[in-house]
A and B are shown apart, each in its own frame.
Chain A
Amino acid sequence: METQEAVAESTPMETDGQSDSKRDGQQKFTLGPNDSLEGKLTYGGHMTVNGGHAEGEFRIGGNIEIGNGSVVKALLEASNVTIKGEVEGKLTARDKLTLGKQAKMNGDVQVRRLQIEDGASLNGYVRMGDFEQQAPGS
């Protein structure tokens, strides 16, 4: 249940409205510019890092979006992963990984679909195709 605490701790007051907003029935959790998260997070909803700093291991049931200016050093696992900031670590996207123009990704990647926009930077091994699905939190 540490994971629950992690969510509670790093959900800042000012983004309260956002953090529990429902989107396609799933919860969304947002890290703002002044927020940081360290540790292991297992979460069923969507996660957004918007300018914040995150470190650890995140297993997300929904999608992860890492916005411009965010720095994430973590083992990431989610359905759809969209990166516009900087990411270091192993990444698994059960569906699709999108690297935006400003994205910097350092680490091995396992995805089902991959889209890289011009200007993005990627260093690591890319594996594509179907793989054993490990649904987080189940």
Chain B
Amino acid sequence: MIGQLYIEGDLRVGGVVEGEVEVTGDVEIDDMAKVKASLAGRDVNIRGHVNGAVVARKRLIVGRSGSLFGDVRVERLVIQDGATFSGQVSMGPGASKAAPPKPVEAPAPAPPALQPELEAKVVVPAEKPAPPIVAAPAPPAPVAELRVASKDGKGRPGAAPIKSQPDKKPIKSQPDKNKKKRR
């Protein structure tokens, strides 16, 4: 898939992703996956190929088959022997909160009613009849991924850029407060 992806829940990537991925839960990048995107999540587990900045609010793990090129902001970092990694590392409590690499602006608050549909796990399957050559160039993106792209990338244009927690009251609730104050 290509584009912006915001998910409340966990994400597992088995195919090709380009753009920007933000997940409130955990992110897992499978062995065969190729990701050219900025990633943000709680626990991020990379076993495939990632090119882009990564923010892990909790822990980033780069497995022995994983490779990561990009700057990293994490609270905890594990790199297994055999993994490839290049980039700036900022680490420690709060490092991931200091400057989230979200170029997303326009804080249009979406009504919480829209969110439940996205809470399901989105699994992007790698349905490619690709030979088991890891170093092969990116195979054509499976149809399933494109569907995911249109569903999540474009289906929620208003909700995608939210970065604030759902418990922050949207504008909708402000009139109520005002009323209360007046009374």
Contact = CB atoms under 8 A, between A and B. Distances in A.
Interface of A: 96, 113-129
Contacts, number: 44
A92 B80 CA distance: 18
Given A123-B89, A124-B89, A114 B83 contact: yes
Contacts of A127: 86
Contacts of A116: 77-79
B89 A126 contact: yes
Given A127-B86, A128-B86, A129-B86, A122 B77 contact: yes
Nearest to A108: B88
Main secondary structure of the interface of B (DSSP, over half): strand
Contacts of B88: 124-126
The 5 closest A-B pairs by CB, nearest first: A116-B79, A115-B81, A118-B78, A125-B88, A128-B86
Interface string B81-104: 111111111111000000000000
Nearest to B95: A123
A128 B76 contact: no
A96 B81 contact: yes
Contacts of B78: 116-118
B63 to A, nearest CB: 12
Given A116-B79, A123-B90, 7 more contacts: A114-B83, A115-B80, A123-B92, A125-B88, A126-B85, A128-B84, A129-B84
B70 to A, nearest CB: 11
A129 B87 CA distance: 12
Contacts of A122: 77, 89, 91
B36 interface: no
A112 B85 CA distance: 10
A121 B92 contact: yes
16 contacts: A113-B82, A114-B85, A115-B81, A116-B78, A118-B59, A119-B76, A120-B77, A122-B91, A123-B89, A123-B91, A123-B92, A124-B88, A126-B89, A127-B86, A129-B84, A129-B86
Contacts of A117: 78
Contacts of B79: 114-116
A117 B92 CA distance: 14
Given A121-B92, A123-B92, A128 B77 contact: no
Nearest to B80: A115
Contacts of A113: 81-82
Nearest to A113: B81
A96 B91 CA distance: 21
A20 to B, nearest CB: 31
A128 B89 CA distance: 13
